[in-house]
Structure 1
Amino acid sequence: MMKKNLIIYSLFLLLQASCTSFLDEKPDIKLVVPKSLNDLELLMNDYSTMNANYPNFGELSSDDYYLTKDLWESASVLDQRNAYIWADLPYEDASQWRAAYKVVNNANQVLDVLKTLDPMNDKAQYSRLKGEAHFFRAFAFQQLVGTFCNGYRESGAAAEQGIPLRLNPEVDENVSRSSLKDSYKQILSDYQVAIRCLPVENPYIGKPSLKSAYAAMGRAYLDMGDFEKAFLYADSAIALYPDLIDFNTVNRTDELPFTRFNKEVLFPAVSKSVGIMSANVSFVDSVLCTSYASDDLRNVLFLESSTIKIGAKHFKGSYDSSTGNLFVGLSSSEQYLIKAEAAVRLGKISSALSTINTLLKNRWKTGTFVDWTETNADQLLPMILEERRKELLYRGRRWSDLKRLNLDNRFKITLKRVLGNNIYTLEPNSPKYAFRLPEIAVNLGGIPQNQR
């Protein structure tokens, strides 16, 4: 009996230890405590932690894809099935939360150690590491906000719940949720430091650079509805790095035609495994499929005919060259779309047209694309938004786009899922757009749950 009780007690301690890591985790205690710039370099080079496993609940709930009833019922992960039908039930997958905070914790460790080092020993490396840490922290915060918070409206952001803003590596410190306004304020502040510290080109693959920081600011301001600043930062990113892939040069018969770290990637990042939304399982929304013109090469580079459902299409255009997770990083093509949308909203019609035309010329068969000439902003804006959805398919942006566009009566939509005889809907601006926090964070961490 004593042996049995000892085993039970040991298991309890193990469970308790794992539960206390709901917000972030200290690195393995067997590792050397970082003390030098080179130690910090190794911490920032941990690609599997810093560039991967970002939340995917939002995209699992988006309208860019659908499943058959059989496929949905056969899904092994209950949380993913619930996300697909917007079930307002407790979510147990704490990794959606914990993995992003592991990025935050690593970034905070770097910043903490940097305070103890003399920047004059290697000014370039010191500055770059400082910029990387601020960038990664902001990027992780932004992914969390996009999943667990409502859409940003300036007039109500101070009263909306944001995320816990952990700004130091002390994991025992109790940090509650900040407001949505303060959450974005911290994200923008971190990116501003990154802009001041990062080099134009980073010598390490997978690490952010100046163009990455400009691009991230453009994305953040677009999500906030600040179109003037979104335009300025997207324009800065394009001015620094205007490169686009000419899709005529990509082999359309390849199973995965785009290489990882291709020339449009400004910062690589991927979600955790998407399971039911895997490219070779899920079907791209049928209406969206028909929106690609025959001479639009995305029609063959992004889509392929399904072998399991007649007439359906799978997605194959991953910028991570994979089928099991989503590329959620930053790309030059996204910056063209941010600039074009912001420009038309600001009345800069000629800039919007030249920007979107530059992008689309690189997407259509050579000699087939005719420049857009629409000068009516009310007509041009929906056209640009449609191109945004077609271009950023399976790229981790649709859920955030739905949230911000639902705030505009012209673009808000009700989402619908059909599974056999059951129909599920998600109304515009539903509180379900802010996912429930994992129960372990709420119950053990004392963090307020999203209101319903």
Structure 2
Amino acid sequence: MKNHIYKMLIIVFSAGILFSCEDFLEAVPNKGIATADTLEDLEAILNNVGVFNRTPGIQNVAADDYYLTDAGWISLGRNMTQRAYTRELEHVFEDEALPSVWTWPYEQVFYANVCLERLHEIIPVSEEQIQKKRQLTGWSKFVRAFSIYHLAQTFAEQYQQSEAGSLRGLPLPRVPDVNNYEEVATLEETYDFILSDLAEALVDLPATVKYKSQPNKTAAHALLARVYLGMGEFSLATKHSEEALKMHDQLLDFNVLQRTALFPIPLVNEEVIYHAVSLSLWGFERNQEVRIDSVLYQSYDENDLRRQFYFIQRPSGAINYRGSFSGDAELFTGLTVGELYLIRAECRARIGDAQGAMEDLNRLLLSRFATGEFKVLTIQNETDMLELVLRERRKELVFRGMRWADIKRGAALDVKLYREVNGEAFRFNSQDYAFPIPVEEFIHR
């Protein structure tokens, strides 16, 4: 049977081209996507941060870094978001067949495929054009991998090497032909696709870029490190985190941040490797009824500046999140040096290198604590090092869209997937952390 998921995407893509083309290609206003055939045209497509530098936001809603008041749950105003909060995954998309958390990443894949097809047809006539074509080819493959990776975190099961060949993955469009139907790939094929794109992107991407919304070699290594960590390939995750840190290892010193600023962490600061934010879900990220879990808040030391800059305490005593690396209320989901240190620390802890893991944590935390107040960590018990790393990972990456993936892969500690709304308790007991593909009759191949 033809894959009807992709058939539905045809409708989405076709409609999307009709209603968004003018804004999407505003950098080349006299051309539509059908006639974008120069390197400059294709670069303008890829440079649209409003399209490419966004990730699904539903993982943050389903994770456990916060809770909602009853009034806050009502204010979500949308069954999809409300059900994601209570983790009713089976029914989460009942009232919305094609939610943005599914269609938006596939639109990114579609436009990346457009660029790759057009790039293949362009014959460069100068060394400058040769290098530009290489960069745009790597860029297209990176954003395609970035999109598929986030779709996999949302809609596919946890990767297990022994089972990946039999588990359901995702449709993997390789060409922009909307009449080309893609079967749903296995999970193994899905991850192979991501890794292949990133390996090829790594060859073509430049070492440096003008804007952090554009990927470079460091970003490709950083994303490979994140992907391999999620796959349980700790040696490869270590390798790519180290390669990325060789290229860029500058951490943001929280001591220089403005304490009185509403959003104290500046946009595209020196620690950011690749900029991205999550799609907004009915103002979830701006809702003051989204309250930080008190146990999480209390886990930060008094001298840990993340306690001040990640959170704001209201006169009512409610604690809200404000510490995004986006420089505003949008939730940052990109790649940072801090995450790389945590990836390498976790991998080192898992393979028995407690000393190396401790050094990585010390390097990160020194930049997070008030000057002169950080007490350097020493190894007390090697068996406790992994637990320490995972606790610091949660505190550093709060509201980054990573918590759901960490719960999913079993790397989250003390998880209590429990919600209460209007006196009704919701307990999530399933071991399947995959959201259903949002077209009921097309779940199976």
2:222 alignment partner, one of 215, 218, 225: 215
Shift in Å, 1:279: 4.3
8 A Cα contact 1:246 1:363, kept in partner: yes
Shift in Å, 1:376: 3.2
Shift in Å, 1:63: 0.3
Does structure 1 residue 265 correspond to structure 2 residue 266?
no
8 A Cα contact 2:301 2:307, kept in partner: yes
8 A Cα contact 2:391 2:413, kept in partner: no
Shift in Å, 1:306: 2.4
Shift in Å, 1:71: 1.4
8 A Cα contact 1:59 1:398, kept in partner: yes
Equivalent position of 1:319 in the other structure:
325
Equivalent position of 1:368 in the other structure:
373
Does structure 1 residue 289 correspond to structure 2 residue 290?
no
Equivalent position of 1:10 in the other structure:
none
Q: Percent identity?
A: 33
2:198 alignment partner, one of 183, 191, 197: 191
Equivalent position of 1:340 in the other structure:
345
Shift in Å, 1:119: 4.2
Shift in Å, 1:90: 4.8
Cα distance in 1 between the residues matched to 2:243 and 2:74:
46
Flag structure 2 segments of 5+ consecutive residues without an equivalent: 1-6, 22-30
Equivalent position of 1:4 in the other structure:
none
8 A Cα contact 1:72 1:276, kept in partner: no
Equivalent position of 1:435 in the other structure:
435
Q: Deviations over 1:75-113 (max 9, x none)?
A: 211110011001221511521111101110111111111
Could you tell me which amino acid in structure 1 is paired with residue 443 of structure 2? P
8 A Cα contact 1:417 1:425, kept in partner: yes
Q: Deviations over 1:226-254 (max 9, x none)?
A: 11111111111111100000100001221
| TM-score when normalising by structure 1 | 0.88
Equivalent position of 2:48 in the other structure:
46
Q: Deviations over 1:308-347 (max 9, x none)?
A: xx33210110111222x42111111111110110111111
8 A Cα contact 2:59 2:404, kept in partner: yes
Could you tell me which amino acid in structure 1 is paired with residue 81 of structure 2? Q
8 A Cα contact 1:416 1:423, kept in partner: yes
Equivalent position of 1:174 in the other structure:
181
Equivalent position of 2:260 in the other structure:
253
Q: Deviations over 1:254-302 (max 9, x none)?
A: 1101122111111111111133632442111111000000000001000
Equivalent position of 1:377 in the other structure:
382
Cα distance in 1 between the residues matched to 2:444 and 2:318:
39
Does structure 1 residue 448 correspond to structure 2 residue 443?
yes
Equivalent position of 2:427 in the other structure:
425
Secondary structure at 2:278's aligned position in 1?
Answer: coil
8 A Cα contact 2:349 2:386, kept in partner: yes
Equivalent position of 1:126 in the other structure:
133
Does structure 1 residue 60 correspond to structure 2 residue 61?
yes
8 A Cα contact 2:212 2:272, kept in partner: no
Equivalent position of 2:364 in the other structure:
359
8 A Cα contact 1:345 1:377, kept in partner: no
Cα distance in 1 between the residues matched to 2:377 and 2:281:
36
Does structure 1 residue 21 correspond to structure 2 residue 11?
yes
Q: Flag the 1:400–1:102 CA change in 2: closer, same or farther, 3 A.
A: same
Q: How many residues align?
A: 420
8 A Cα contact 2:358 2:378, kept in partner: yes
Q: Deviations over 1:191-229 (max 9, x none)?
A: 111111111111244110111001000000011111111
Does structure 1 residue 95 correspond to structure 2 residue 100?
yes
Cα distance in 2 between the residues matched to 1:365 and 1:57:
33
Cα distance in 1 between the residues matched to 2:257 and 2:92:
43
Q: Deviations over 1:330-370 (max 9, x none)?
A: 11111111011011111122221111100000000111111
8 A Cα contact 1:25 1:171, kept in partner: no
Secondary structure at 1:137's aligned position in 2?
Answer: helix
Does structure 1 residue 387 correspond to structure 2 residue 382?
no
Could you tell me which amino acid in structure 2 is paired with residue 435 of structure 1? F
Cα distance in 1 between the residues matched to 2:77 and 2:421:
17
Cα distance in 1 between the residues matched to 2:92 and 2:76:
18
Q: Flag the 1:34–1:23 CA change in 2: closer, same or farther, 3 A.
A: closer
Q: Deviations over 1:154-213 (max 9, x none)?
A: 111111111100111111211121111111111011111111111111124411011100
Cα distance in 2 between the residues matched to 1:354 and 1:373:
9
Q: Flag the 1:294–1:333 CA change in 2: closer, same or farther, 3 A.
A: same
Flag structure 1 segments of 5+ consecutive residues without an equivalent: 1-16
Return 223-232 or 92-101, whichever deviates more.
92-101
Secondary structure at 1:243's aligned position in 2?
Answer: coil
Cα distance in 1 between the residues matched to 2:150 and 2:8:
23
Q: Flag the 1:25–1:216 CA change in 2: closer, same or farther, 3 A.
A: farther
Cα distance in 1 between the residues matched to 2:233 and 2:13:
30
Cα distance in 2 between the residues matched to 1:57 and 1:422:
22
2:310 alignment partner, one of 258, 277, 302: 302
Shift in Å, 1:378: 1.9
Cα distance in 2 between the residues matched to 1:302 and 1:65:
13
Shift in Å, 1:27: 3.6
Q: Flag the 1:19–1:190 CA change in 2: closer, same or farther, 3 A.
A: closer
Shift in Å, 1:414: 4.0
Cα distance in 1 between the residues matched to 2:320 and 2:228:
32
8 A Cα contact 2:346 2:390, kept in partner: yes
Q: Flag the 1:277–1:374 CA change in 2: closer, same or farther, 3 A.
A: farther
Does structure 1 residue 77 correspond to structure 2 residue 72?
no
Equivalent position of 1:86 in the other structure:
87
Q: Flag the 1:103–1:403 CA change in 2: closer, same or farther, 3 A.
A: same
8 A Cα contact 1:104 1:166, kept in partner: yes
Equivalent position of 1:6 in the other structure:
none
Cα distance in 1 between the residues matched to 2:207 and 2:112:
20
8 A Cα contact 1:22 1:94, kept in partner: no
